[in-house]
Chain A
Amino acid sequence: MIEVRIHGRGGQGNVVAAYLLATAAFETGRHCQAFPSFGAERRGAPVTAFVRIADHPIRRRCQVATPAFLVVQDAGLLHIPATLDGLIAGGGILVNSPRTSAELTQEYARPMTALPATALAQDILGRPVPNVALLSAFLALTGLMPAEALVKALAHRFKGDVLDRNTRLIEAVTHHVAAGAWKEIAHA
């Protein structure tokens, strides 16, 4: 079973990101579970969401305390200790940031992968919502499932121009990260 924790701020589509990732996993024939841990439900407040992916039905309903992967939609949240809590040894951290992976890795003294997700989304979607770009990078890094699974998940929610733009965003992002770099973690 693979456990992922998504950190972001209210309004960044954290819960939607969790639902999309779980739905993409479902589209490839896996069992999935995704749920939020809302704080006070307001724009800008820290929000955490959880995803579990497995080849068997998932029964546990506790929060994800020891994720294999962290997806951080707002780099400002890296200053909150809870954001990095519990990540398994060798786990992957994907951060929405205009800075380089090397800069983040040096500052936080642990390996991090950066993606300028807000800028990419602004360019292609016309909206600064980083979630789909980060999910596309996550799928490319882990090789957990093809990008088409994410497009299928999006097609449950969007159509027409919005779906087209998101599909272009998903394709564009795959060139920004090292495909398969997290494959071993994902298959551990």
Chain B
Amino acid sequence: MLEALEGSAAVARAVARCRPGVVAAYPITPQTHIVENISKLVADGKLHTELVSVESEFSAASVALGASAAGSRAYTASSSQGILLMTEVLFNISGMRLPVVLTCANRAIGAPINIWNDHSDSMAVRDCGWIQLHCADNQEAVDTSIQAFRIAEAAELPVMVCMDGFVLTHTLETLEIPDQDMVDQYLPPFHFGRMLDPRNPLSLGTLVGPEYFSETRHLAHQALLDAASIIVDADRQWQELSGRSAGGLLTVEGPKDARIGVLAMGSLVSTFRAAMEGTQTSAPGRLINLRAFRPLPVDSLRQACDGLSDLVVVDRAISPGFGGVLGGEIRAALSGMTQAPRIHNVAIGLGGRDVPMEMWGRLLNVPAEDAGFRILDLEPAKLGDAS
């Protein structure tokens, strides 16, 4: 049944449908409404879970770690500086192969302080060993939240569901919350084979010296790579049940004969979809919606770029002194590909800067401008004497 719901409320409802055993979180804009709504579901008796109000994000992640290790389905959520404060624990959660699910309500990182949306936070923890999935709209955020638990538990890896702060979290729109029976059918109760249990003692996260550390890293890398097929299966099976795909590893949209492609993640994809529908007159472009940032689906990316002369990679996070984070990754992924497209990299929409529909046409023109990495929606007049 369709409902009109705010993104945060919808994700809270979707998480509740997954019957988490433990939820631990500390509020931070723009994640706050997700946790508020979960708290309300608990207070109203609609969700039976151990809700732990902690004093920091470090503790939120630590509680989720402990709960998961003890065999509970564990959930947390954060944004921006909160993700940074969790960072040490995020590495530990993946290192211990614990299937925690976290919603990252994507927000810029200060200084200067900025509460609005870009991808600096999830990019800053790019290498923490978590699966990272991006959502183009709130229906995808709902469906991906449910899929995340199934993926995490099948892969024994944590999953970060990235949804753009404000642009998705604070947008009320028409969407569908799947009913409990459907979610129960999709997501069986969590049974953790390596659960901490006094009757069957074992240790997690023990000291590993040079004799075995490389092997643990190899296994972690392999586990992330192997998760790609789990992500695809989880989405396919969800589609069979619900009738909706949330985008697999990536989606390719637009005319087959387009020579220029645009690759983006998150809610920008939704605006570009609208722009493509309305611009029969402008040059056609192919839209590549990268849902899985980790594991990075190199083979699928190469197939998605087949036939392109140029690919414009759109970043919402920059690595100062280098350029776009995603741009660097895609260059590496396509390096050595026969007939690889020329790759162009721009950043837009940093710190919540609005990205209008006209940006689609502007991006398709980037190859003709033949310039290096730049912030495409920069307003040079505002640089003043600093330039």
A and B are partners in one complex rather than unrelated chains: yes
| A33-B271 in contact (CB<8A) | no
How many angstroms from the CA of A61 to the CA of B267 in the assembled complex?
Answer: 7
B4–A22 touching, CB < 8 Å: yes
Q: Are A22 and B271 in contact (CB under 8 A)?
A: no
Say whether B274 faces chain A, with CB atoms less than 8 Å apart. Answer: yes
Select from chain A the residue with minimum beta-carbon distance to B29. A41
Which B residues lie within 8 Å of A65 (CB)? 356
- Which of A4-12, A52-60, A163-171 forms contacts with chain B? A52-60
- Which single member of B29, B274, B356 contacts A59 (CB below 8 Å)? B274
**A33–B356 Cα gap in the complex (Å)?**
16
Q: Within the assembled complex, what's the spacing in Å between the Cα atoms of A18 and B174?
A: 14
How far apart are A47's CB and chain B's nearest CB, in angstroms? Answer: 12
Interface residues of A in 54-99 (CB under 8 A from B): 57-63, 65
B343 surroundings in chain A (CB, below 8 A): none
- Chain B residues with CB under 8 A of A32: 4, 172-174
Q: Considering the chains assembled together, what is the distance between the CA atoms of A23 and B173 in angstroms?
A: 8
B167 at the interface (CB under 8 A from A): yes
Q: Is the interface of A mostly helix, strand, loop or mixed?
A: mixed
**Cβ–Cβ < 8 Å partners of B174 in chain A:** 26, 31-33, 57-58
Contact across chains for B4 and A61 when beta carbons are under 8 A apart: no
A58 to B136, CA, bound (A): 12
Determine whether the beta carbon of B356 is less than 8 Å from that of A62.
Answer: yes
Query: Which of B29, B115, B174 has its CB near the most chain A CB atoms (within 10 A)?
Result: B174
Q: Closest chain B residue to A20 by CB distance?
A: B172
Q: How far is the CB of B93 from chain A (nearest CB, A)?
A: 31
Distance between A56 CB and nearest chain B CB, rounded to angstroms? 9
Is the pair A60, B274 in contact by a Cβ cutoff of 8 Å? yes
Give the residues in chain B near A58, CB-CB below 8 Å: 173-174, 274
- Minimal beta-carbon separation of B217 from chain A (angstroms): 39
Question: Which of A32, A58, A60 has the largest number of chain B CB atoms within 10 A?
Answer: A60
Q: Is B211 an interface residue (CB 8 A)?
A: no
Q: Is B310 an interface residue (CB 8 A)?
A: no
Closest residue on chain B to residue A22 by CB atoms: B172
Q: Considering only CB atoms and an 8 Å cut-off, how many residues of chain A contact the other chain?
A: 22
Q: A26-B4, A60-B274, A60-B357 are in contact. Are A35 and B267 (CB under 8 A)?
A: no
- Distance in angstroms from B349 CB to nearest chain A CB is 10
In the docked arrangement, what's the CA distance between A19 and B356, Å?
A: 22
Collect the chain A residues with CB atoms within 8 Å of residue B137's CB.
59, 61
Q: Does B273 touch A at the CB level, under 8 Å?
A: yes
Could you tell me the distance in whole angstroms from the C-beta of A112 to the nearest C-beta in chain B?
Answer: 26
- Is A61's CB under 8 angstroms from B275's CB? no
Q: Given contacts A19-B6, A35-B172, are A61 and B270 in contact (CB under 8 A)?
A: yes
Which B residues touch A59, using CB under 8 A?
137, 270-271, 273-274, 277
Q: Distance in Å from the Cβ of A179 to the closest Cβ of chain B?
A: 25
Partner of A38, one of B3, B166, B271, B274: B166
**A26 to chain B: closest residue by CB:** B4
Q: Min CB distance, A32 to chain B, in Å?
A: 6
0/1 string, B266-294, CB within 8 A of A gives 1:
01101101110100000000000000000
Chain A residues near B6 (CB-CB < 8 A):
19
A48 to B287, CA, bound (A): 31
B273 contacts across to A, CB distance below 8 A: 59
Q: Given the interface contacts A22-B4, A36-B166, does A62 sit within 8 Å of B271 by beta carbon?
A: yes
CB-nearest residue of chain A relative to B359?
A62
Given A26-B4, A32-B4, A61-B167 contact (CB < 8 Å)? yes
Q: A34 interface residue, CB < 8 Å from B?
A: yes
**Beta-carbon contact of A60 and B275 below 8 Å:** yes
A64 to B184, CA, bound (A): 39
Contact (Cβ within 8 A) A60 B270: yes
Query: In chain B, what residue has the closest Cβ to A52?
Result: B173
CA distance A32 to B29 in the complex (A): 24
- Interface residues in B32-80 by Cβ distance below 8 A to A read none
Which residue of A is nearest B173, CB measured? A33
Q: What residues of A have a CB within 8 angstroms of the CB of B355 in the complex?
A: 61-62
B4: chain A residues within 8 A (beta carbon): 22-23, 26, 32
B354 at the interface (CB under 8 A from A): yes
Return A130 CB to nearest CB of chain B, in Å.
20
The 28 listed contacts between A and B (C-beta, < 8 Å) are A15-B170, A18-B172, A19-B172, A22-B4, A22-B173, A23-B4, A26-B4, A31-B173, A33-B173, A33-B174, A34-B171, A34-B172, A36-B170, A57-B174, A58-B173, A58-B274, A59-B270, A59-B271, A59-B277, A60-B274, A61-B167, A61-B168, A61-B171, A61-B268, A62-B271, A62-B357, A63-B354, A63-B356
In the complex, the 4 A-B pairs of residues with the closest C-beta atoms, listed nearest first? A26-B4, A59-B274, A60-B274, A35-B171
Interface residues of A (CB under 8 A from B): 15, 18-19, 22-23, 26, 31-36, 38, 41, 57-63, 65
